[in-house]
Amino acid sequence: MKITSRSLALGLSFALCFSLSSCVSWLAPSVNADLATLETGQYKLDPNHAALIFKIQHLGLSTYLGRFNQFDASLRFDPQNISTSRLQALVDIPSIDVNNPDLADTLQGSDWFDSQQFPQALFISQGVNPLVDEQFEFYGQLTLHGVTRPVSFIARFHGGADNWMTGKYTLGFSATGTIKRSDFDMASYIPLVGDEVQLEIYAEFLKQ
């Protein structure tokens, strides 16, 4: 059989793809999802692998999505005594991203976030309640728009692994919650724009 330069190139390409696939599989961390065996300690948010998303009803016709691009968080975690775990998060309000620069500017104004006067939102957890299916309720105080109110989030730890990219043990974490913006003196245009705001957090935490 005659081996042409084209068939040789294809063969080398397949071999390279197979080699890269094998390397990628080898580099993937071994994630341990057993909560009881995850590592106790102080953790810091990995901002490169985190998302804070909000959803709100618009005109009763659709759900509008946005996100905050800059936020930080710390976690004190003890899987053996989960009720003692604590979470604190700080959100930069001017980092709001709604894929519409004009609307983003409007949301910074006094009818909405008034970010010049209140540039940050702060959540400090005060306790944790175990729920079903390895879910937990983090409850605490949220300060937003200069108002502090009790809120809670339903959280799940997705597992832990040694992260070769950072050289640190890493936890996977997600949480959801709902707040009413009117509770924080942000009642403009209700009910044209919904009062309830759904929050979703997806994050990796690095052990310190």
pLDDT tens digits, one per residue of 33-69? 888 889 999 999 999 999 999 999 999 999 999 999 9
d(CA 206, CA 46): 6
pLDDT above 80: residue 98: yes
Is residue 14 predicted with pLDDT exceeding 80?
no
- Measured CA to CA, the distance from residue 107 to residue 92 in angstroms comes to 13
Q: What values do phi and psi take at 136, rounded to 5? A: -140, 145
Instruction: Count Cα neighbours of 67 within 13 Å in the Cβ-side half-sphere.
Output: 11
Question: Among all chains, which residue has been given the structure tokens 């899987």?
Answer: 79
Q: For residue 151, which of 91, 191, 92, 63 has the smallest C-alpha distance?
A: 91
Confidence of residue 5 (pLDDT cuts 50, 70, 90): low
189: tokens are 């245009």
Residue in this structure with the two tokens 């008034």, named with its chain if needed: 114
- Cβ 89 vs Cβ 43: under 8 Å: no
Element (H, E) at 14: helix 5-27
Q: Tell me the whole-structure pTM to 2 decimals.
A: 0.85
Q: Name the residue ranges covered by the structural domains of the chain.
A: 29-207
CB 37 within 8 A of CB 68: no
Q: Please state, as a whole number, how many other Cβ atoms lie within 10 Å of the Cβ of residue 17.
A: 10
144-165 confidence digits (pLDDT tens):
999 999 999 999 999 999 988 8
Write down the CATH number for the domain with range 29-207.
Answer: 2.40.128.110
pLDDT in tens, 175-206: 999 999 999 999 999 999 999 999 999 999 99
Side-chain-side CA neighbours of residue 100 (13 Å): 9
